[in-house]
Structure 1
Amino acid sequence: MGIEIERRFLVLGDGWRAAVTRSRRLHQGYLAREEGVAVRLRVTDGGAVLTIKGPGHLARPEYEYAVPLAEAEEMLGTLCTGRRIFKTRHDVLHGGLVWEVDVFEGPLAGLVIAEVELDDVARVPDLPPWAGREVTADPRYSNAALASAAAPPRG
């Protein structure tokens, strides 16, 4: 079983842009979301992955499986209607870690969230100056919740 340990922060300003090492566009949809479990389908850079995430905020079980691209695109279009996200993900190095800065599109335009994956729940990352309020435990900012949102959360 894989465990994802991740912290999420709202992003302040554009100070992160100068340190981007890689960018890619993501299209993801949610096949199911119930009682803290989410089944996500993600297409990026010509590949597709099905991810099953268990309950939790900071640390949670995570399983990933490759999916044929044509089938993934079909599922996104037919099974994920009303539960999709379009965003560009930028990798930014800071404090010896790769921060993933997601710039959302469509109804979520204007929302920018940074995620950092950790190897231990006790690890406290060096926060970059553009990391704003932490939203790790705020369920409104989970990608599964955002996929169904008509607009970015406020507050």
Structure 2
Amino acid sequence: MAKEIERKFLVDGDGWKDGAEKGVRLTQAYLMSGPQRSLRVRIFDGGRARLTMKFGGAALSRDEYEYDIPLADALELVGHAVGSVIDKTRYRLADAPYVWEIDVYHGDLSGLVVAEVELPDEAATPRLHDWLGREVTGDPRYLNQTLSETGRHPEEAD
């Protein structure tokens, strides 16, 4: 069983940009969404696609299963999206032994920038950079699943 263990933060500043790799544009559509579970399709730069199932809520740790799928299938599946299709650019920033992923959202979610770091275990302590804002690990409003359901920036949805 695959486990996803990650911490998530709002981004407060541009300090991450200097060390980040070139971004990848992601189209992300949820096909099924429910309490403690989701099924999504994600298209990377319009060239490849992956299907992902997650089990567990907004907690630090969740079960995750991912599978590459044909791009043509993914494009069809996006048409079956539940809620809004998410459009964002993901940047990666190496910070040995960790890698930060910074998501810059577009469209209705424009202005939202979130950083997450995957961890080997729940006790791991990555360096917390000064460009990180408030931690939102465990806050379900910042799950992409919730963002797709509401179609709005979490602070505007309150």
Q: Shorter-chain TM-score category? A: over 0.9
Alignment partner, residue 146 of structure 2: 145
The letter of the residue matching 1:151 is R
1:53 positional shift? 0.2
Alignment partner, residue 53 of structure 1: 54
Q: Give distance in 2, aligned partners of 1:41 and 1:105.
A: 18
Q: Give distance in 1, aligned partners of 2:99 and 2:67.
A: 22
Q: Give distance in 2, aligned partners of 1:62 and 1:6.
A: 12
Q: Give distance in 2, aligned partners of 1:121 and 1:67.
A: 30
Asked if 1:128 corresponds to 2:116, the answer is no
Offset from partner CA, 1:16-45 (integer Å, 9 cap, x none): 111112310000000011121010100003
The gaps in structure 2 that reach 5 residues or longer are none
TM normalised by structure 2 equals 0.92
CA contact (8 A) 2:11 2:131 kept: yes
TM normalised by structure 1 equals 0.94
Alignment partner, residue 104 of structure 1: 105
Alignment partner, residue 37 of structure 2: 37
The letter of the residue matching 1:153 is P
- Runs (4 or more) in structure 1 with deviation over 6 Å come to none
1:97 positional shift? 1.5
1:95 positional shift? 5.0
The gaps in structure 1 that reach 5 residues or longer are none
Asked if 1:28 corresponds to 2:28, the answer is yes
Alignment partner, residue 17 of structure 1: 17
Alignment partner, residue 120 of structure 2: 119
Alignment partner, residue 2 of structure 2: 2
CA contact (8 A) 2:5 2:119 kept: yes
Q: Give distance in 2, aligned partners of 1:96 and 1:67.
A: 29
Taking every aligned residue pair, what percent have the same amino acid on both sides? Answer: 48
Picking from 77, 89, 95, the partner of 1:75 is: 77
Q: Give distance in 2, aligned partners of 1:50 and 1:106.
A: 23
**SS at 1:14's partner residue?**
coil
